[in-house]
Amino acid sequence: MTELIHRFSSGVFVIAATPFTEDGALDLVSTDRMIDFYLQTGVTGLTILGIMGEAPKLTGAESRSFVQRVLSRVDGRVPVIVTTSHFSTQVVVDRAREAEALGAAMLMMMPPYHGVGLVPGEAAIFEHFAAASDAVSIPIMVQDAPLSGATLPVPLLVRMAKEIENVSYFKMETPFAADKLAALIEAGGEHIVGPFDGEEAVTLLADLDAGCTGTMTSALQPELIRPIVTEYRAGNVDAALAQWRVCLPLINHENRQCGLRAAKTVMQAGGVIGSDHVRHPLKPMTDRTRARLLQLAAESDVIALRWGK
């Protein structure tokens, strides 16, 4: 699996939703259909148990069941990244070992955090990732996102890439992500195997300009975002820019108005999953926001809106 993920250090990795029934139970039947849909869009790989997948609202048993179901359905056809973030280093180590044992190709982790008042210093962050790396033999992606409240300076990230055996992938979602990606790539050199864009691809063009090799985006329009990456990396920058302009209205509406609810709503409308239910404390989107989302998705002719019909 490690060789598999290194072969796919570029491309489009979809952050999978976690389907629920209307009453909020984990929906594994819809999970199977959702995985089939993802694979048919031509994604490079999948990421599960991320924030977009509502992982903080799953029990430990539900998370385990979901990971097992996804990996079974994928059956090795594409690499699957399992998110194992937690404030407790021991919990992260336990999750990392379990994910690798179940067949994960990579782990993704935020730095440890538990609210703005409980963010450890750089030394503890380094030790947190080192402990996870020592527990497994698969690569680890560092998710650098404002949500954690932890500041990850470029020198710290470079040190992690050079000194922690399995840390070589970085997903950048901070403000001015492109500048940070460029600085990381320049300072880290060959130790930065996979510099990735995130945040629904809202900064994808700038991040590609900075040297990112792939993107980790939602399931809303992966088949339309994929050509942005492939065209750019093939040297067809004008074609990539043109395709990004096509995708941008839907990217913007998802990123600024809908959040993780967007992909679920469109997949339900297209028959991919049975319900777009999100667990409390999130609320369903307003009818106004939903109507605009479905209009933009229809205008873009996204596969999710017609896949199950």
Lowest-confidence region among 4-13, 99-108, 144-153: 4-13
Does residue 117 register a pLDDT over 80?
Answer: no
HSE (side-chain half, CA atoms, 13 Å) at 21:
6
User: What tokens were used for 192?
Assistant: 């930065």
Tell me the mean pLDDT in the region 144-170: 94
Check residue 7 and give its pLDDT: 54
Per DSSP, which regions of 6-85 are E strands?
11-15, 45-48, 80-83
Active-site residue identified among 57, 162, 171, 309:
171
Asked if residue 147 has pLDDT above 90, the reply is no
pTM for the model stands at: 0.95
More confident call, 5 vs 137: 137
Tell me, what's the pLDDT at 5?
55
Helix axes of 89-102 and 122-135: crossing angle, nearest 10 degrees:
30
Is the pLDDT score of 61 beyond 70?
yes
131 contact partners, CB below 8 Å, separation of at least 6: 89, 92, 93
What would the mean pLDDT of 170-177 be, rounded to a whole number? 94
CATH code assigned at 201: 3.20.20.70
Q: Is pLDDT at 22 greater than 60 in this prediction? A: yes
Domain that holds residue 16: 2-305
Number of folded domains in the chain? 1
Reported confidence tier of residue 70, pLDDT bands at 50, 70, 90: very high
Catalytic (active site) residue 264: no
Tell the burial category of 260 from Cβ atoms under 10 Å away from its Cβ (0-12, 13-18, 19+). buried
Q: CA-CA distance, 232 to 228, in Å (whole number)?
A: 6
